[in-house]
Amino acid sequence: MIYLKVPRRDGEKTRRELIQKGLFVGGYPILNEGDFVLFPVSGPFGDCETVERDEVKRPIHHDRLKDALSGILSEQELETLIGSFDIIGDIAIIEIPDALESREVDIGNALLSVHKNLKTVLRKLGPMEGEFRVRRVKPIAGEDRMTTLYKESGVLMELDVASVYFSVRLSHERKRISELVKPNERILALFAGVGPFPLVISKTHPDAEIIAIELNPDAVAFMEKNIARNKAKNIKAVLGDARKVVMAGYRDYADRVLMPLPKDAHDFLDVAYAGARDGGMVHFYTFAGISDPFREAAEKAESAAKASGVRIEIASQRIVRPYSPQTVQVVLDLIVRKHVT
């Protein structure tokens, strides 16, 4: 490689001029030799001496997926690329348009190069579907596996991204709810999945009594592993339908009821109200139109309360995350009053 040999006192000034004139060659190291600095260049500059050194170009690390794919995909293909993706543990899950299907391996490998902590890249093959709200995926780069370890709020969770529902985008909510929990609370976690809400709560509230109910047997198996892994002895994992489990054994039980399944949670509001004690809190997650999301969510909650013969008060409400251009996920924190006059 050709280097420009410059007195150290003139180094910074010369470097700027080389960049300005397009003579500086990136990717090679800048060398220090005695009273001189050596800059990699594409040609001579002024009266400065040029020398040759056996230096190897260093690999360039890109911070963005599109930058890593520049020169691999065409400009038109880059415009089509969806730059957002989810990372769960050491697995990335990305949506690839049909038009880029033939480039999926290139995209997967580029993602691995950008995020060095990743071991596997999976491509989404469709939306969440089925009774257990899982997504079909396929490996396109890295290791051929679906199972990963995910860490959040000091809790380590194992899960299979192809067989259980899990959202990293609720991490802030899990922390928020944990901070609301008071000593010695009884908690019902409906739609508990692999246990993220119960486990995060248990980490800081080992005195809480948590019943975690989940219909998906694969999720319950992982939840039991995660309970043991985190030594969360105050969580009881229950396999079954939330309606049947609560109505049969946990009426008027909970100081707090969690409902982190926004697509269908409104159909279980009567169950949540039944499981809450008088004055208990229900955290109701749902999807709503962006124009007036809280009114829409409150109408669902009020309608179910009237049918259940209870009164509710909205203690707080917030938008959890955008879901689509016209839809957001919201949460209402509801106080349940059972002695209605």
CATH code of 9's domain: 3.30.70.2580
The angle, 0 to 180 degrees and rounded to 10, between the axes of the packed helices 196-204 and 217-229 is 20
Where does the pLDDT of residue 60 fall: very low under 50, low under 70, confident under 90, or very high at 90 and above?
low
- The predicted model gives 283-295 an average pLDDT of 95
- The predicted model gives 265-281 an average pLDDT of 97
Question: Is residue 81 located within the same domain as residue 94?
Answer: yes
Residue 168: predicted pLDDT = 92
Last residue of a domain, one of 122, 145, 168: 145
Residue 117 near residue 98, CB atoms below 8 Å: no
Question: Is residue 218 located within the same domain as residue 308?
Answer: yes
pLDDT at residue 59 above 70?
no
pLDDT at residue 292 above 60?
yes
In the chain, how many domains are there?
A: 3
CA angle 287-240-176, nearest 5°? 45
* CA dihedral sign, ordered 152, 156, 160, 164: negative
Question: Is residue 303 located within the same domain as residue 186?
Answer: yes
Q: How far apart are CA 315 and CA 281, in angstroms?
A: 9
Residue 68: predicted pLDDT = 81
Give domain status of residue 116, yes or no: yes
Residue 86: predicted pLDDT = 92
Segment of 23-32, 122-131, 225-234, 317-326 carrying the highest mean pLDDT: 225-234
Q: Look up the domain containing 193 and give its range.
A: 150-337
The secondary element (H helix, E strand) that includes residue 247 is helix 242-249
Give domain status of residue 58, yes or no: no
pLDDT of 78-126, one tens digit each? 889 988 899 999 999 999 999 999 999 999 999 998 898 999 999 999 8
pLDDT at residue 58 above 80?
no
pTM here?
A: 0.79
Last residue of a domain, one of 31, 52, 73: 52
Q: How far apart are CA 338 and CA 341, in angstroms?
A: 9
Question: Is residue 249 located within the same domain as residue 134?
Answer: no
Cross-sheet strand order for the sheet of 49-52: 31-33, 36-40, 2-7, 49-52
Mean pLDDT of the chain: 92
